[in-house]
Amino acid sequence: MSRLYFARQAWVNGGWQRDVLLQVDARGHWAEILPGQLKPVAAEELPGPVIPSLVDAHSHAFQRAMAGLAERREAGEDDFWSWRDRMYGLALQLRPAQMQAIAAQLYLELLRGGYTQVCEFHYLQHQPDGTPYADELAMSWALADAAEQVGLGLTLLPVLYARSGFGKPGLREDQRRFATDAAWVWRASQRVQAAGRPLLSAGVALHSLRAANAEDIRALQALVGDADLPIHIHISEQQQELRDCLAATGQRPMQWLCKEFRPDARWHLVHATHSTPEEIAQVAASGASAVICPGTEGNLGDGLCDLNGWLEAGVPISMGSDSHVTRAWVEELRWLEYGQRLKLQQRNVAAAPGRGEPATAARLFEACVRGSAAPAGFRQWGLEPGARADFLVLDTRCSGLLGVPAAARLDALVFASQGEALREVYVAGECRLREGQHPAQAAVATGFEASMKELWGKD
């Protein structure tokens, strides 16, 4: 069944357009998007300005259960590696039912944060003792059930995780739930893809170069072959990772990846925080994209990426919420720009007036809209014919947008909004959040709270 919507203002082709008619086809994709139209009687008028949603291109859903619970340092130094040990403690406890409850809460929050598709980088596979579940995809189905419950699109990425570090023969004892090989990952991806669930698709992932040796990577590449699906990998997140890779291979991580494994446009490099101009040029030539996670990278003390290097090289970029200390793309974009401002002691770093792009928010947002499709395994994204009919309706009554001139609404949304700025959220042409409310939110919150009490105690 097709639907007609009408927006007095909508962000189309990189700018605000007036009186936009939006037609959704029977598959839940855009059939037509026509600015400058009179409102047809049959069209539903949307209650605010319309903008595209974004894909959350990197998620570890289970880590939502420790957001805000690792912000103390009792002694010594605290860094990514000490945080990781605490995260493993959580990973060793979770059951499928808890995974579903935590993911449902997260996925509802992501809808509220303006994401309508999430790429789940999923490595928590087996029972707590490391043995497979009766259905080896029990934890995967828990994630899929959570996404279905709230109506969020999900790209599930089973992860190849085979060793604890460069030169190591296998995993640490506290990584036992993560153990997979190339055949397991490919089988899991194929099963998820064949499930036929609405809004569910699959790709594959390699945890990192340190967690998969060259033979593992080549084996998975051989299984994937020419299949048109996304391939994700953590890379160059930490300085220690760079030092270890140099010691093991004589090359930096992105250098080694590009030389040995020849990534292409199906590859999505998560974090890519520490880079050289030469590495950026190699990635640009390959067609691969960068998935930046500013909130988590700030929380973990990872460092700041070379944002202008990636943008100027034309490398596609997308946002990820990763450990979920942040769960809205507006905050990720703000962190992305503010990190550069603090680093360079300049303002509007991402703006490019020489390219005709003087608005910082618009340049970053447009880059992320363009970069959203491929990490999720899609060919198109945004307000354009053929893309899935996902969109957001802004609340011009919220404090950050109240009284702001129409031309500056995107700037104010990213850099001045503090509260709920989204009035409605649509996925595949259907309203999932109306006035910020979801029909399942009470049940989702109850399940999440119960799981948190089981994990952390009742106080």
Over residues 316-374, the pLDDT tens digits come to: 999 999 999 999 999 999 999 999 999 999 999 999 999 999 999 999 999 999 999 99
Structure tokens that stand for 140 in this block: 């995967």
Of 214, 215, 266, residue with least CA distance to 245: 214
Please compute the mean of the pLDDT values over residues 378-385 and round it to a whole number.
98
Clarify whether 56 is annotated catalytic. Answer: no
Q: Confirm if 269 and 233 have CB atoms less than 8 A apart.
A: yes
Name the 3-class secondary structure at 430: strand
Clarify whether 395 is annotated catalytic. Answer: no
- The overall average pLDDT reported for the chain is 97
Instruction: List the catalytic residue out of 58, 122, 271, 274.
Output: 271
Cα(298)–Cα(237) distance, integer angstroms: 11
Please compute the mean of the pLDDT values over residues 135-142 and round it to a whole number.
98
Name the 3-class secondary structure at 240: helix
Predicted pLDDT of residue 77: 87
Q: What is the percent of the chain where pLDDT is above 90?
A: 96
Of 414, 423, 416, 421, residue with least CA distance to 331: 414
Predicted pLDDT of residue 184: 98
pLDDT tens digits, 340-355: 999 999 999 999 999 9
What domains are defined for the chain? 3-51+388-441 (2.30.40.10), 54-376 (3.20.20.140)
The one-letter amino acid code at 50 reads: V
Instruction: Read off the pTM.
Output: 0.98
Instruction: List the catalytic residue out of 56, 322, 390, 395.
Output: 322
Work out the widest C-alpha separation in the chain, in whole angstroms: 68
- Per DSSP, helices labelled H in 54-203 are 80-91, 96-112, 138-150, 182-194
Catalogue the E-assigned strands of 245-364: 267-271, 289-292, 317-319
pLDDT tens digits, 56-113: 999 999 999 999 999 999 888 888 989 999 999 999 999 999 999 999 999 999 999 9
Pairing state of beta strands 30-34 and 54-59? unpaired
Predicted pLDDT of residue 75: 83
